[in-house]
Amino acid sequence: MTAGRRRISAFNVVLLLVAALVVYMGASNVDRSLRAARADGTPGTFSATSLDCIQHPGHESCTCNGTYVPESGGEELTDIYLYGADRRTCHIGGRTAAVDVGSVNRVYGPEGSNEWIMTAGLILFGLGLGGWAARPWWAGRATSGD
């Protein structure tokens, strides 16, 4: 090791691994998030069978569960939920247009979703965390003259 080089700590190595995992998790959802944003998938009909709501201080979070049948006559999906539905928009026994973008447990409304924002934020957070954790290497390279 040269005199100008800094050693990277085990903590920074762990942070780099966590950052890589976060970027990987975000990147693996990019395709589905973009398809959901554009409502690019198989159109069909969602039928609501139940509404589960949880009260939080200041707001309520609801899940509209039901079944989905594609317009093309494919297999009916059960035990699935409509992303973004709440107490106002989920009518038990009611049917609404929906799009299956390939997600395992949810379908989306024909207007799409803003889920891509969270995916992009996750990737940017991972890149920022990785850059911050790798700064001792960059600082060491800049001062050593390599």
Rounded to the nearest 5 percent, the helix, strand and coil shares of the chain are 40, 30, 35
pLDDT digits (tens, 9 = 90+) for 78-110: 999 999 898 899 999 999 999 999 888 999 999
So what's the pLDDT on residue 50? Answer: 95
In the sheet where 77-82 sits, what is the strand order? 95-100, 42-56, 59-70, 77-82, 106-107
pLDDT digits (tens, 9 = 90+) for 41-57: 999 999 999 999 999 89
Lowest mean pLDDT among 30-34, 126-130, 141-145: 141-145
Global confidence as pTM: 0.76
User: Residue 63: beta bridge partners?
Assistant: 52
What contacts 92, CB < 8 A, 6 or more positions away?
A: 48, 49, 50, 51
Task: Name which of 36, 112, 53, 113 is nearest 88 in CA terms.
Answer: 53
So what's the pLDDT on residue 9? Answer: 86
Residues in the chain: 146
pLDDT digits (tens, 9 = 90+) for 4-42: 556 678 999 999 999 999 999 999 999 999 999 999 999
Amino acid identity, position 127: L
pLDDT over threshold 70, residue 2: no
Which ranges in the chain belong to alpha helices (H)?
10-27, 30-38, 115-133, 135-144
Phi, psi (5° rounding) for residue 97?
Answer: -65, 140
